[in-house]
Amino acid sequence: MRALTWHGIEDVRVAEVPDPTIQLPTDAIIRVTSTAICGSDLHLYRVLAPYLTQGDVLGHETMGVVEEIGSEVTRLKVGDRVVVPFVIACGECWMCERKRFAQCETTQDREQGTGAALFGYTSMYGAVPGGQAERLRVPFADVGPIVVGSEHPDERYLYLSDILPTAYQALEYADVPDGGTLGVVGLGPVGQLVVRLAVRRGIRVVGSDPEPERRALAVEWGAVAVDVDDAVQAMRDASDGRGPDAVVEAVGMEAHGNPAAAVAIGLASRLPKSVAQAAIEHGGIDRLSALMTAIDAVRRGGTVSISGVYGGVADPMPLRIMFDKGIAMRMGQCDVRRWIDDLLPIVEEEGDVLGLEQLATHRLPLDAAPEAYRTFQRKEDGCIKVVLKPELRPA
Ligand SMILES: NC(=O)c1ccc[n+]([C@@H]2O[C@H](COP(=O)([O-])OP(=O)(O)OC[C@H]3O[C@@H](n4cnc5c(N)ncnc54)[C@H](O)[C@@H]3O)[C@@H](O)[C@H]2O)c1
Ligand SMILES: [Zn+2]
Ligand SMILES: [Zn+2]
């Protein structure tokens, strides 16, 4: 089959790879109909290169049709239309029982000291081949996949795989009181969905992003949106000078605005593998400017809810300020399945109330993926979200 494979820093290629097969009786194989590129893929594209191996298949936002099931799969049948959560969980362990699927004790990588295995997310997270491909092997197929109906196009459901539950979790963690205010740092696909979910709840939202198009989209959905340097002031202005009750950080380790860390990232990703991994794990590679904005803006006693992915350990944090302001912080990979029962009815509401069918600015054949990664990374051509369709033929 054809799949998007990683070859080096900012070098991904569509190549022929072996078809996935059922390896365990709890597996399923799906034929991929839509698979999106995520902001998290951009970290793999560059900064996290030391964790990748040539030929790794990327992708973790996938949906399609069940083609084959293992002998112990009972909840799915061949022909079902499914969305596949990016987190691979067993459904039965101590963590899964508590709905902390992203911490699953069965699939977590103890050698790496990381949480549940993730599709297409490198040796750090189980080295499981991803879904930017014609087919995907889904482990624990009775646990993750969400069976959906046929009445709406793929894009209505696709984001249940990751960014929609991620945005929902960010908002749940933010715990904004009635009549409250929320700051959203970063208006990429995740930030946009946080805005839409929050406005729906009657929350006042102020977002920030360097990209004018992304700000304009957030404004269309009812937020105030400002450039990075104006973020803290605008968030305070919207909350009687106090700062928002909570701030969601939806940017992550590659935030703009910290040139020194940008250089460190560039260097770390080019070192030999073992040295580079050590540099990432023990050195400061994260660009913290977005997180610092969140900490600065949030009111005393408020919550910073981090969706953005971070990678280093030694980055200095303003602990005095965090302590003095009495800030609560919540963060982590999304427990996807935990939020699906809340989200599915919203997704299926008449009239596409979250604008999911319009979020993708680019719908392309799988073969266009390398170009699409570049366009999404550089935010060119009005690119906000890319959906790859393996069944589309190149023009
Ligand atoms: N926790 C999870 O489970 C989970 C799931 C999905 C994505 N993520 C992470 O969420 C983050 C956002 O993902 P996305 O798909 O929206 O990606 P994205 O890269 O498109 O969005 C990031 C946005 O932040 C903006 N930005 C950069 N620097 C900024 C700054 N200093 N202040 C304000 N905005 C700034 C960028 O212009 C961009 O619009 C990424 O770090 C991604 O890895 C986490
Ligand atoms: Zn993602
Ligand atoms: Zn588990």
Tell me the per-residue pLDDT of 29-67, one tens digit each, with 9 for 90 and over.
Answer: 999 999 999 999 999 998 888 889 999 999 999 999 999
Q: Whose CA is nearest to atom 13 of ligand 1?
A: 39
**What's the 231 CA to ligand 1 centre distance in angstroms?**
16
pLDDT for 394 equals 76
DSSP one-letter string for 113-160: T--SEEBT-TGGGT-B--SSBSEEEESSTTTS-EE--SSS-HHHHHGG
> What is the pLDDT averaged over residues 94-108?
98
Q: Identify whether the C-beta of residue 75 lies closer than 8 Å to the C-beta of residue 142.
A: yes
pLDDT for 48 equals 86
Asked if residue 270 has pLDDT above 80, the reply is: no
% of the chain with per-residue pLDDT over 70: 91
Split at pLDDT 50, 70, 90, the class of 286 is: low
Q: Which ligand ends up closest to the CA of 119?
A: 2
In ligand 1, the atom with minimum distance to the C-alpha of 255 is 28
Both tokens assigned to 342: 């809340």
Asked if residue 263 has pLDDT above 60, the reply is: no
> What is the pLDDT averaged over residues 104-109?
95
Q: Whose CA is nearest to atom 20 of ligand 1?
A: 188
pLDDT for 186 equals 97
Split at pLDDT 50, 70, 90, the class of 96 is: very high
pLDDT for 294 equals 97
Domains parsed from the chain with CATH numbers: 2-162+335-389 (3.90.180.10), 166-331 (3.40.50.720)
| Pocket of ligand 1 from Cβ distances under 6 Å | 38-40, 42-43, 162-163, 166, 185-191, 208-211, 214, 228, 250-252, 255-257, 289-290, 293, 307-309, 333-334
**What's the 187 CA to ligand 1 centre distance in angstroms?**
7
Best mutation site among 190, 285, 305, 335 for ligand 1, i.e. most ligand atoms within 8 A of its Cβ? 190
pLDDT for 281 equals 60
pLDDT for 113 equals 87
pLDDT for 190 equals 98
Instruction: Give the span between the Cα atoms of 205 and 182, in whole angstroms.
Output: 5
> What is the pLDDT averaged over residues 167-195?
98
Q: Which ligand ends up closest to the CA of 103?
A: 3
Asked if residue 221 has pLDDT above 80, the reply is: yes
Burial 214-237 (b: 16+ CB within 10 A, else e): bbebbeebebbbbebeebbebbbe
Instruction: Give the span between the Cα atoms of 234 and 92, in whole angstroms.
Output: 45
pLDDT for 285 equals 53
Split at pLDDT 50, 70, 90, the class of 316 is: confident
Both tokens assigned to 168: 């929902």
Cα-based distances in Å from 132 to 9, 38, 281, 325: 18, 11, 28, 43
Asked if residue 262 has pLDDT above 60, the reply is: no
User: What residues have their beta carbon closer than 5 A to ion ligand 3?
Assistant: 89-90, 93, 96, 104, 106
Q: Identify whether the C-beta of residue 293 lies closer than 8 Å to the C-beta of residue 270.
A: no
Asked if residue 331 has pLDDT above 70, the reply is: yes
